[in-house]
Amino acid sequence: MARVVLDVITLLTAGFMVGNELTVACFLHPTLARLADNIHAEAAIAFARLFGRVMPFWYAAVAVLSLVQVWVRRPQSTAAAQCLLVSILLWLAAIVYTLILPAPLNRRISRWDVQALPSNWRAERRRWDRFHWIRMGILLPALVCLIVGVALP
C-alpha cells in the first residue's frame, strides 16, 4: 500500500510539473507574445518571479521522489528499474540544464523594470522560450520513463 501511495504521489507531482511546463511552452508564452509590449512585459516579469520561486522546489520534489522510486526498486534489474534510472538521469540533466541556461535568464527577466526595459527584451524572451523548449525535450522523455518505470511490474 505504501508503494502505491508513493507511486501516485510521484506520478502526480511529476505529471503536473511537466504539464505546467508544457502549458508555459505551448499556451502561456505564445499568448503573451501577441499582447501589447507593456502588458507582455508586465506579465512576463510576474510569471518569471512566480516560477522563479516555485519551480526550484517542484523540480527538487520530482527529483527526490524519482530517486526514492529508484531506491525502492534497487535490488531489481528489471526493465522498470532501468526506466526509472533513465528517468532520474534525465530529471537531473534537466535540473543542471535549467541552472545553467534558463534560470539565470529568468532571474534577469524577473528584475526588469517595465518603465525601463532593456532594448533587447523581446529577443531575451524568445531566447528563454528556446531554452524552455530544449528543456521540454528532456522533461517529456523523463516523464515517460518515470511512468513506464512505475507502471511495469
pLDDT, tens digit, for every residue of 21-68?
Answer: 999 999 999 999 999 999 999 999 999 999 999 999 999 999 999 999
- C-alpha grid cell, residue 60: 527538487
Give 16-19's long-range contacts (Cβ < 8 A, gap of 24+).
Answer: 17/55, 17/58, 17/59, 17/62, 17/139, 18/139, 18/140, 18/142, 18/143
Q: For the segment 61-102, what is each residue's pLDDT rounded down to a tens digit?
A: 999 999 999 898 877 778 888 999 999 999 999 999 999 999
